Amino acid sequence: MPPRFIVGNWKMHKSISEAESLVNGILKHYQPHPSVELAVAPSFVSLQAVSRLIASTPIGLAAQNVNAHDEGAFTGEISPLMLQEVGCHHVIVGHSERRHIFGETDSLINEKLHAVLRHGMLPILCVGEHLNERQANQTHKVIHTQLQKGLEGLSSYDLLRVAIAYEPVWAIGTGHAATVEQAAEVHAGIRTFLAMQWKIDAERIRILYGGSVSGDNAGTLFHSPQINGALVGKACLNSESFVKIIELAKTS
Ligand code: PGA
């Protein structure tokens, strides 16, 4: 089994000094283990400070977003070259807040994904359905469309470099995580879909669950072999709760 992958998405939280304190808190309590891979995704302005602090540790650096172009007249945007230079290994692409607050489309997300891969970084592609879509039994359809369009043009080699994060929109920031059965069922559907479309061994794809993951529910979620890690929002803003999730992800 590949190591479980735990990613902390700090969103628009933490000043630079707060970011440094959070990393120091994680480093103080976290015991590296081969069964867990860890990454943190601070805001753009904290990337450099965090990069320095984690340089000689097993913690990876992730960005929360990227522009698909290498450079140009795109005021306010950050290019993949800049992320690479600051030390990012991973880039979160297509987070539900990017899709729904900032209007990112599947085709834009696809461009970003290609840009990340082109520059040697690894994308974490987020997918997930709204509550009304789940209630209308549209979950698999919605997610298949997001995968089909978001991953368009990827070779099977590149697909194996992508981590998928299943984040039901109704579970993000609500305190109501999906049950392990709900998440495992969607993860299995994602694997079947990718195996059929790309002719790959989909067991090799890491599928993370995200949406109100906490120290209270992570242990149950990780019981499912379908759940290869977590994309954590609120609970990663505090080093103790984040380290608790990391500890629960360790397998003996
Ligand atoms: P949450 O956020 O853990 O606060 O629900 C998860 C995410 O948005 O990635």
Cβ-contact 129, 167 below 8 angstroms? no
pLDDT of the chain, 252 residues: tens digit per residue: 789 999 999 999 999 999 999 999 999 999 999 999 999 999 999 999 999 999 999 999 999 999 999 999 999 999 999 999 999 999 999 999 999 999 999 999 999 999 999 999 999 999 999 999 999 999 999 999 999 999 999 999 999 999 999 999 999 999 999 999 999 999 999 999 999 999 999 999 999 999 999 999 999 999 999 999 999 999 999 999 999 999 999 985
Is the CB–ligand 1 distance for residue 212 below 6 Å?
A: yes
Distance CA 183, CA 175 (A): 15
In this prediction, residue 234 carries a pLDDT of 98
Q: Please confirm, yes or no, whether 111 is among the known catalytic residues.
A: no
Give CA angle at 143 (249, 127), nearest 5°: 50
Q: Which of 231, 240, 235 is nearest to 26 (CA)?
A: 240
What burial letters (b/e) apply to 41-56, b meaning 16+ CB within 10 Å? bbbeebbebbbebbee
In this prediction, residue 128 carries a pLDDT of 98
Instruction: Report which secondary-structure segment, H or E, holds 110.
Output: helix 106-118
What spacing in Å lies between the alpha carbon of 140 and ligand 1's midpoint?
21
Of all protein residues, the one whose alpha carbon is nearest to atom 9 of ligand 1 is 233
In this prediction, residue 252 carries a pLDDT of 59
Cβ-contact 250, 5 below 8 angstroms? no
Q: Please confirm, yes or no, whether 114 is among the known catalytic residues.
A: no
Q: Which atom of ligand 1 is nearest to the CA of 9?
A: 9
